[in-house]
Amino acid sequence: MPDTALTTLSPLYDLHSHTTASDGLLTPEALVQRAVEMRVGVLAITDHDSIEGIVPAQRAIAALQLPLQLMTGVEISTLWENHEIHIVGLGVDITHPQLTSLLDEQRQRRTARAQMIAERLEKARIPGALAGAMALAEGGAITRGHFARFLIAQGKADNMVNVFKNYLARGKTGYVPPQWCTIKQAVDAIHHSGGRAVVAHPGRYGLSAKWLKRLLAEFATCGGDAMEVAQCQQPPNERAQLAQYAQDFQLLASQGSDFHMPCPWIELGRKLWLPKGVEAVWTRYPDLLIQGCAAQGKRGEQ
Ligand code: AMP
Ligand code: MN
Ligand code: MN
Ligand code: MN
């Protein structure tokens, strides 16, 4: 079958995106409308340690009768061997108590860390960072992304790359070692709430091949289901390499833009396709799409 026929049959999946519920710049309502403009057929909203964007997005899709299917999602920060590893949960029941209590703990950790980041910046003669970052977060999960935007607004850096490099990356003035949950705790909460666990952007942790393989082995041992293989901005050979790892570690594959805001480089749905030889997580588990919406808890407690 020619590719053109395939693309008309199968919707475009983008299973990693952010809203104002964490460090995204678009509201859930604006994000789902943009997804439709970009011809995305299935979107997962995966805010940092938050599911608050899901219901407003579902309401907007219904009210505007948008041709878009929403998959519930979340991106949980974990700590493994001193590395911050992000685990995406897809198709979770957003009301499940094990998930919501884990996310509550994570939010408390975010608040505590934000206070410490602000204290460190204050000592470096940058006052007002907590109030500034909280104002930008507007009640959503507070992230380093909000501190980054505050610091840029203060004229401390001219772009996101430099503000992280100079202030917020490990070892810099505004860096505080995080206290996230373990990979196992994230995977368990995702599974108990009926979802599937996915290693987010495996190429973005700065791990050597040896350590990345260790991470994927650990994730598989914890019962993890899949790994992101395709993103819109990747070094030339990364997608093929990640597809090979997915097969080696018997993990399913996922894809997502990790869209945070309109910008020239990253766009919803852009360049998202999976190489041959991997199985998509949505193909193996087609009921991920109704899980967490109509069929809450159906597959829970397993
Ligand atoms: P946090 O979860 O609070 O540590 O914040 C992590 C978020 O900061 C990521 O999801 C990105 O949105 C953003 N971020 C981290 N590192 C960078 C970087 N080098 N450049 C731009 N954004 C970054
Ligand atoms: Mn982010
Ligand atoms: Mn991430
Ligand atoms: Mn993300």
- As given in the structure block, the two tokens for residue 290 are 């109704």
Weakest-pLDDT range from 4-13, 38-47, 247-256: 4-13
Q: What integer pLDDT is reported at residue 296 of this predicted model?
A: 40
State the SS3 of 179-194: CCECHHHHHHHHHHCC
How remote is the CA of residue 290 from the centroid of ligand 1, in Å? 30
Protein residue closest via CA to atom 14 of ligand 1:
145
Cβ count near 83 (within 10 Å): 13
pLDDT band, very low/low/confident/very high, at 8 (cuts 50, 70, 90): low
pTM (2 d.p.): 0.94
d(CA 269, CA 35): 7
CA gap 30, 262 in Å, rounded = 11
Q: Where are the domains of the chain?
A: 13-102+179-301, 103-168
Q: What is the CATH number of domain 13-102+179-301?
A: 3.20.20.140
- pLDDT band (50, 70, 90) for residue 290: confident
Residue 145 CB less than 6 A away from ligand 1: yes
pLDDT tens string 131-168: 999 999 999 999 999 999 999 999 999 999 999 999 99
Q: Is residue 30 classed exposed, middle or buried when 0-12, 13-18 and 19+ CB atoms within 10 A define those classes? A: middle
| β partners of residue 85 | 78
Q: Please tell us whether the domain made up of 103-168 is placed in CATH 1.10.150.650.
A: yes
The residue nearest atom 4 of ligand 1, judged by CA position, is 144
The answer, yes or no, to whether any atom of ligand 1 lies below 6 A from the CB of 86, is no
pLDDT at 277 over 90: yes
- pLDDT of res. 302: 36
Binned at pLDDT 50, 70 and 90, residue 297 comes out as: very low
What's the pLDDT score for residue 9? Answer: 73
| Ordered strands of the 196-199 beta sheet | 73-80, 83-90, 196-199, 226-230, 252-255
On average, the pLDDT of the chain sits at: 94
Which residues lie below 8 Å from residue 4, measured CB to CB, with a gap of 6+? none
